[in-house]
Amino acid sequence: MTGRYGRYALLRAAQAVIVILLAYVLTFLVISVLPGDPITNTLRDPQNGLSEDEIQQIVAHYGLDKQAIIQLFLSLGRFVTGDLGFSLQSNLPVAQLLGDSLPSTLALAGTALLLAVVFAVVIAYGAQYLPGRVAPGLLRSVPSLFLSVPNFVIGLVLIELFAFRLHAFTIIDPDSAVATFFAALTLAIPVSAPLAEILIANLDHESRQEYVLVARSRGLTKTRLFARHLVKPSMLPAVAMVALIVGELLGGAVITETIFGRDGIGTLVQKAVTSQDVPVLQAVVSLAAVVFVVVNLAADLVSPLLDPRLQPDRAAARTEPGVVVPA
Amino acid sequence: MTANLALLRPTGIPRAVRRAATGVPPTVLLAALVLVGVLLWSVAPGVFTSFDPVTGNTAEKLLAPSAAHWFGTDYLGRDLFARVVYGTASSVTSALVAVLIGLVLGSAIGLASGFLRGWVDTVLGRVVDVLLAIPGFLLAVVIVSSLGFQTINAAIATGVSAIAVFARLMRAETLRARGSVFVEASYLQGGNRLHALLRHVLPNAYRSVVALAVLQFGTSILVIASLAFLGYGDPPPASDWGLLVASGKAYATAPWLVYAPALVIVATVLSVNRISNWMRKAK
């Protein structure tokens, strides 16, 4: 297995690097080729008070007087060597801005991911194993409801209820543990929905399998059957889903952090958009792509180890593994 | 002939309607009703409210919801219900534009990948990978900031960030149809590739792609509302739903300014999702 697996791992890693570089190129194209020239607009904005000499210096440093394609390669070269440039607004190195905002966003996104997984598991297993018809039926419609409420509405309602009415936290101190919890809750609710849906679909699929019938006829109780036979297969596809969700968390952070007044990556994006701070935008999008690609690479590399059916030397011989992905 | 028979039996048409409606769960009918209402709001907002969405009576500012003002009034005394109704057109049509962009471009990419295979598939596959690697909302934010803050640009941005999802589904469906026995049979009978594409592959992929399009319509409403909430859509006095929530949140004493438009968004998207789920299960 090792030879095949090693080759598979190398191939996937190479693909990941290519995707990251292409994501950088795409962002560059979106920002600089589309109509409007944010860099020059910002530089010439009288509010920034840059002298003509300084402007020339910046233009020369970034090669802005050169053709777009040359600029792209210069920019890509700087990115590969880890130089993210300077913010047009604060003149601070972008790497420093990212470093300052990252801890807050990591705390938010980490808590949110944990909450989302807990919600999804409770909803999915509740829908499968609660007695009666009403409660499971209601639980099954929860993901759809979670998907229908905009992130910002959840945030505003939570603030109104828990900060203004019940005084559980104050929005003046957004980094306190309680405020972080509620911000994470805002982010977790929409994100937990697809995870719950895929868990429900997989549990449904697994409980229809014949081995379940066999196990039941051998006299296994419902709970033991669940614990011994159903948890693991239903979790496997969810691992891949968690990897996909990480990207959503970063996107949702823009709204959540703005509402809760947190100084994280999302707020950085929001400020960068308002002030057309191109280097910051470029860096954040690249960072998001790197995070997404690395997490998914990890999931792809781990899942063959967890599920023998997905091993590269066997995957080709077998048909699709027992995984249900809702369209 | 059948039309004549239907004319002879006056009960025929209602029975047909009844037959179509039976088997449809009541929640789906309710959802359809909500969507028809929303569509009517966007087509003819003037029919549903006699108030003007832009000019208000400042003597009547920040009134709570009442029989006269269903959703209350805002800080300029404008009727909030009128603002919601008049904001529907831009909130809903921009979501339609977004879905259309994602559907057309995404399906074209997916169809080309799945049908032509080879290097086309490899190249387009990487393009889709890249689009998937950038979080959708972040991509939409960057695109709209590059195009300029307008609702139509927000719609374009939302559409572009949905391309990858459509491309992936269309590629999978195309591959499925392409490998099927009936496509093979069509080749054996002398059919060419274009014929197989139009006659067999597209009609088979159509159902799941339409279900996804409906689902994406709901998602697009949310994304566009979020962009408007951040101020990346048309500026006031436009009254996109997301913008209404954003401007309402400044008035803590008038919570209806947030809840009323928020409720309209939730009801609309919930209805869209319900119908999409039903379509997916019905096939």
pLDDT, tens digit (0-9, with 9 covering 90-100), for B64-100? 777 777 777 777 778 788 888 888 888 888 999 999 9
Q: What pLDDT, on a 0 to 100 scale, did the predictor assign at position A299?
A: 82
Contact state of B232 with A273 under an 8 Å Cβ cutoff? yes
Listed in sequence order, the residues at least 6 apart from A111 whose beta carbon sits closer than 8 Å to its beta carbon are: A180, A181, A184, A188
Instruction: State which residue of chain A sits closest to B207, comparing Cα positions.
Output: A327
**Token pair of A187, please?**
């982010």
pTM: 0.84
Contact criterion met (CB below 8 Å) for B222 and A251? no
Phi, psi of B73 (to 5 degrees): -130, 160
Query: Which residues of chain B neighbour A270 with C-beta distances below 8 Å?
Result: 230
Query: Which residues of chain B neighbour A248 with C-beta distances below 8 Å?
Result: 135-137
Q: What is the pLDDT of residues B224-245, one digit of tens each?
A: 999 999 988 888 888 888 888 8
Q: What is the pLDDT of residues B177-228, one digit of tens each?
A: 877 777 778 778 877 777 777 777 788 777 788 888 998 999 999 999 999 9
Chain A, window 265-324: residues with a beta carbon less than 8 angstroms from a chain B beta carbon = 269-270, 273, 276, 281, 284-285, 288-289, 292-293
Q: What pLDDT, on a 0 to 100 scale, did the predictor assign at position A320?
A: 43
What average pLDDT does this structure show over B249-278?
Answer: 87
Q: Could you give the angle at the alpha carbon of A148 between the alpha carbons of A147 and A151, nearest 5°?
A: 80
From B146, B218, B266, residue closest to A34, measured CB to CB: B146
More confident residue, A218 or B105: B105
Instruction: State which residue of chain B sits closest to A35, comparing Cα positions.
Output: B147
Between 1.10.3720.10, 3.30.310.50, 3.20.20.70, 3.40.50.880, what CATH number should domain A94-311 receive?
1.10.3720.10
**Domain annotation for chain B: domains and CATH numbers:** 79-282 (1.10.3720.10)
Query: Which residues of chain B neighbour A12 with C-beta distances below 8 Å?
Result: none
Q: How far apart are CA B225 and CA A285, in angstroms?
A: 21
Is A22 an interface residue toward B (CB < 8 Å)?
Answer: yes
Mean pLDDT value across chain B: 82
Chain B, window 126-185: residues with a beta carbon less than 8 angstroms from a chain A beta carbon = 126-127, 129-139, 141-143, 145-148, 169
Q: How far apart are CA A107 and CA A105, in angstroms?
A: 5
Q: How far apart are CA A128 and CA A141, in angstroms?
A: 13
Helix (H, G, I), strand (E, B) or coil at B90: helix
More confident residue, A31 or B19: A31
Contact state of B141 with A254 under an 8 Å Cβ cutoff? yes
Query: Which residues of chain B neighbour A256 with C-beta distances below 8 Å?
Result: none
Contact state of A26 with B131 under an 8 Å Cβ cutoff? yes
Q: What pLDDT, on a 0 to 100 scale, did the predictor assign at position A312?
A: 62
Contact state of B142 with A27 under an 8 Å Cβ cutoff? yes
Listed in sequence order, the residues at least 6 apart from B134 whose beta carbon sits closer than 8 Å to its beta carbon are: A23, A26, A27, A247, A285, A288, A289, A292, B161
- Nearest alpha-carbon partner for B142 in A21, A90, A27: A27
Residue ranges, comma separated, of all CATH 1.10.3720.10 domains in chain A are: 94-311
Q: What pLDDT, on a 0 to 100 scale, did the predictor assign at position B13?
A: 53
Q: What pLDDT, on a 0 to 100 scale, did the predictor assign at position A28?
A: 86
Q: What pLDDT, on a 0 to 100 scale, did the predictor assign at position A313?
A: 59
Contact state of B135 with A248 under an 8 Å Cβ cutoff? yes
Contact state of B138 with A270 under an 8 Å Cβ cutoff? no
Q: How far apart are CA A18 and CA A12, in angstroms?
A: 10
Low-confidence stretches of chain A (pLDDT beneath 70): 1-2, 33-49, 62-67, 310-327
pLDDT at B157 over 80: yes
Interface with chain B: mutation pick from A37, A245, A273, A300, highest number of B CBs within 10 Å: A273
What average pLDDT does this structure show over B115-125?
Answer: 86
Contact state of A255 with B230 under an 8 Å Cβ cutoff? yes
Helix (H, G, I), strand (E, B) or coil at B245: helix
- As for the ipTM of the complex, it is 0.82
Contact state of A148 with B145 under an 8 Å Cβ cutoff? no
Contact state of A34 with B147 under an 8 Å Cβ cutoff? yes
**Token pair of B147, please?**
């195009």
Q: What pLDDT, on a 0 to 100 scale, did the predictor assign at position B98?
A: 94
